Structure 1
Amino acid sequence: MASMFCSPSNSNFLLSSSSSSSSPSRRFRIVAKSTSPANTGSFLAFLCPLLKLFSGGDPSQQRNFTIEVATSSLATLSRFPWGTKSKLYTSLTTPITPNLHLFEFEACPFCRRVREALTELDLSVEVYPCPKGSVRHREVVTRTGGKEQFPFLIDQNCGVSMYESGDIVKYLFERYGEGTRPSLGLLESTILTGWMPTILRAGRGMTLWERSRLDLPPVKLELFSYENNPYARIVREALCELELPYTLQNVGEGSRRIKLLLDASGTKEVPYMIDHNTGFQSGDYKMILSYLFETYSTAIV
């Protein structure tokens, strides 16, 4: 099935062959034509410490969940309607362990744009959080792509790796959306509303929690979610702050992957997280938060 997604096309991308592949098949790197605003990195560097002052401090301690849910819900409204519905479907035979790898961090507005596209395309993806202060995944991006910039996508189905959120979204829709165009406003919305969730959530999911464990769990965690769900957002922020890689199963409204969620949890509610390392499973975002910080940090919860 992968070959049908990777056939040549006269799209908006330039394809160049790479001889550094460890795979016997020919690999390509997409050279993005567009560029992100030059001052994005410096703006984030300024925003990170400023928002941290309002983030409530220690993420492992008891939170005011009324405020947490309220601000996350407002963040959801600011991104309506993107990242809520699955408009194009993948096959249920798609492996649980996907061949799409996304290096990103939760609070980044350009990364959010890509996650919204993944929800709409009903695609699962391996997420490698790269918060500010990352001790492992940012280095992988620099070594693989040549620069520390996010989001960064690796499509092992096609041997493609690329930067630039707009180009990634167009690529995903072309390869996995039967060539359809992204939803109206998805590509243009970042300039107008993309920063609102970051500001409303006071930078949650932006920086590495200083007490996160350095050792990775042997098996990736699995999270059923869709991008614009306010409760799932809170869980993804914690996974990012702990720099925990996970398999993201997108189950937006209308998703054919709902069956996978029903088989796992018995309900259609998200978030639902499974830790295959310990057997922990829960659909309660508060319980998931407590579990994550208790299990994967050195903090006393």
Structure 2
Amino acid sequence: MIIPNSSLGFKIKSAQATASTLLRGGLGNMGTPTPIQPEKMLILYEHEACPYSRRVREVMTCLNLDFESRPSPHKGHVYRDELKQLSGKTQVPFLIDDNTDDKIIDSQQIIDHLFKHYSKQGKTPDKYQSHDGDNATLLNKSASVASMMRGVKAAHPKKNQDRGRPDEPLHLYGFEASPFCRLVREKLSELEVGYINHNVAREQIEDIGAFGVRLNLGDYQPIKGGKRERIMNEVMDGKLQFPYLVDPNTDTKMFESKDIIDYLENTYG
């Protein structure tokens, strides 16, 4: 179902994206303020509506890891053809970790790998384990349905392929459970535009809020020495709002998900 990015359409899509967040029970919200970011960027072939990819992205947020997303939706070619050459399949998620020389195609194996190498505990917590193999739960699959399957297939596969990849990957700052970040990721997936996903997970109870209002009393202060403090001071000039898009190809920097979606459609659609 195609919903226009009008004022009413955006409200409908925002409600659907919020439903996806609620169905996941808070996963993809909180993360460590001091991540173990690997030297070489992790690469993830995925697409937004895939429930197995979502499991991996939730762990990326928990560990507050940045990674390069190479959107590989159905009917797409920009990254999907490359994915088939690398793994022999078009199945997502597929992780490339050049730090450990690993290429992994199963979501639970990817999750176990991430916790093993990039968590302080070195093992996968029970809530991130799938005891029935690489299995997406009914609620996880329902979260995909709640998004009306946006991001599951390429919107304009021939045009996307003719355009190819941007000279430099875009940069998206946010976190998995944010419904407004989700809408931007869905558009990037539909357009097959690769980007660096900078996770800026909530690190403390004071970070929790909605529509610009947080639970803290008084002036907001991120955890000192944490990732949010660094992003706020070094990237956003004292502001902390998500999603935040940086496109080095056009020297564009912008907040507000609706404006970002319009920009992506006009620039890469």
TM-score relative to the length of structure 1? 0.74
1:260 is displaced (CA, Å) by: 4.0
CA–CA separation in structure 2 for the residues paired with 1:223 and 1:183: 27
Distance 1:252 1:214, change over 3 A: same
Q: Could you give the per-residue CA deviations for residues 151-199 of structure 1, whole angstroms, max 9, x where no partner exists?
A: 0000011111011101100110001113444344333483131112210
Say whether the 8 Å CA contact 1:129–1:243 is kept in structure 2.
Answer: yes
The residue aligned with 1:287 is 259
The runs of 4+ residues in structure 1 deviating greater than 3 Å are: 59-63, 178-184
The residue aligned with 2:24 is 79
The residue aligned with 1:218 is 167
SS in 2 for 1:153: strand
Aligned positions of 1:1-301 closer than 5 A: 54-56=1-3, 64-87=9-32, 89-90=34-35, 98-188=40-130, 190-210=136-156, 211-212=159-160, 214-254=163-203, 256-262=226-232, 263-265=234-236, 266-297=238-269
Distance 1:117 1:191, change over 3 A: same
The residue aligned with 1:45 is none
Distance 1:220 1:230, change over 3 A: same
What amino acid sits opposite 2:227 in the alignment?
A: R
CA–CA separation in structure 2 for the residues paired with 1:142 and 1:112: 20
CA–CA separation in structure 1 for the residues paired with 2:243 and 2:185: 9
Say whether the 8 Å CA contact 2:191–2:268 is kept in structure 1.
Answer: yes
What amino acid sits opposite 1:274 in the alignment?
A: V
Identity level (%): 30
Say whether the 8 Å CA contact 1:55–1:201 is kept in structure 2.
Answer: no
TM-score relative to the length of structure 2? 0.82
Q: Which runs of 5+ in 2 are unaligned?
A: 204-222
Q: Could you give the per-residue CA deviations for residues 25-81 of structure 1, whole angstroms, max 9, x where no partner exists?
A: xxxxxxxxxxxxxxxxxxxxxxxxxxxxx343xx66776122111111111111122
Q: Determine which structure has more spread, i.e. the larger CA radius of gyration.
A: 1
Aligned CA-pair RMSD? 2.1
Q: Which runs of 5+ in 1 are unaligned?
A: 1-53
SS in 1 for 2:240: coil
